């Protein structure tokens, strides 16, 4: 094995015995521990930065033990740790000691979407004048497709992911949350701020249909069957107020 191959093996294997043959320094095992601590604590810090609510839900000691198990099995492969832990939620689902918190994996999914939204590509919202111009031609609206901001994503969950997340923000109150109520989270970045909103089923289905590229008419109609409470006007007003309609696409041409 190459020298760096041995070094890497020793980082992941605390019982590695060949350190005195590799290093000339005195007490190489205790010195090697510094590198091992640096490597693993930097990865735990990266996960704790990306998953602060998961960490609060399980406590620091449990989080560190869970994260360390993850790091051992899934060390980073990208040089930028911003994306590290893309598969942390899937790992949590299989992590038996966390089985008592069935909502934990979805909270992790939500926090990943928040990180992605924070760093997502910038994209200018369509001007209000252009939107007003289109609203004045209702016959064309049905065929219109909306391009949404790259930061926007939806997480439908069997658990109260939005309420759990909000309860762990400053001033939040976890005692008022029933974690087993299904919620649908909308994550987006408005300006520089990441925002999180709980959606009703109708609005959720409508925005998902827009994301899938359906024209406005079909997205609204599809949705009409799913929920009687759906209000197209309110839903568009929400997307407009959050500056997330970034493209208007008609059949022939795309309008920036």
Residues forming the site for another protein (CB under 8 A): 2-5, 7-8, 11, 21-32, 34-35, 38-39, 42-43, 46, 75-82, 118-123, 150-151, 189, 192
- Give the nearest distance from C-beta 236 to another protein in angstroms: 24
Other CB atoms within 10 Å distance of the CB of residue 86: 15
CB 141 within 8 A of CB 251: no
Other CB atoms within 10 Å distance of the CB of residue 225: 10
* Residue 121 or 132 having the CB closest to another protein: 121
- Give the nearest distance from C-beta 68 to another protein in angstroms: 14
- Give the nearest distance from C-beta 88 to another protein in angstroms: 16
* Residue 33 or 127 having the CB closest to another protein: 33
* Residue 115 or 160 having the CB closest to another protein: 115
- Give the nearest distance from C-beta 39 to another protein in angstroms: 5
Which residues have CB under 8 Å from 242's CB, separation 6+? 188, 190, 195
**Crossing angle of the two packed helices 28-50 and 3-12, in degrees rounded to 10:** 70
User: Residue 191 class from Cβ within 10 Å (0-12 exposed, 13-18 middle, 19+ buried)?
Assistant: exposed
- Give the nearest distance from C-beta 126 to another protein in angstroms: 17
Element (H, E) at 52: helix 52-58
* Residue 163 or 246 having the CB closest to another protein: 246
* Residue 76 or 217 having the CB closest to another protein: 76
């Amino acid at each position: 094995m190459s020298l760096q191959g041995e070094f890497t093996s020793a980082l992941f294997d605390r019982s590695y015995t060949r350190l005195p043959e590799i290093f000339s320094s005195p007490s190489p095992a205790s010195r090697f521990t510094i590198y091992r601590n640096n490597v693993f604590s930097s990865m735990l810090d990266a996960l704790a930065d990306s998953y602060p609510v998961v960490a609060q839900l399980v406590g620091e000691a449990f989080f560190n033990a869970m994260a360390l198990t993850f790091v051992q099995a899934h060390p980073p492969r990208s040089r930028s740790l911003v994306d590290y832990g893309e598969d942390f939620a899937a790992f949590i689902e299989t992590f038996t000691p966390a089985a008592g918190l069935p909502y934990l994996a979805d909270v992790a999914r939500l926090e990943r979407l928040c990180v992605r939204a924070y760093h997502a590509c910038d994209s200018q919202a369509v001007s209000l004048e252009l939107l007003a111009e289109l609203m004045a031609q209702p016959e064309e609206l049905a065929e219109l497709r909306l391009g949404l901001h790259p930061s926007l994503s939806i997480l439908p969950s069997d658990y109260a992911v939005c309420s759990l997340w909000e309860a762990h923000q400053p001033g939040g109150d976890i005692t008022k949350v029933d974690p087993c109520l299904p919620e649908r989270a909308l994550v987006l970045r408005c300006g520089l701020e990441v925002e999180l909103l709980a959606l009703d089923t109708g609005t959720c289905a409508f925005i998902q249909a827009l994301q899938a590229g359906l024209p406005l008419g079909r997205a609204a109609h599809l949705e009409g069957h799913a929920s009687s409470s759906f209000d197209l006007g309110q839903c568009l007003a929400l997307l407009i107020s959050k500056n997330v309609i970034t493209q208007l696409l008609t059949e022939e041409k795309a309008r920036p």
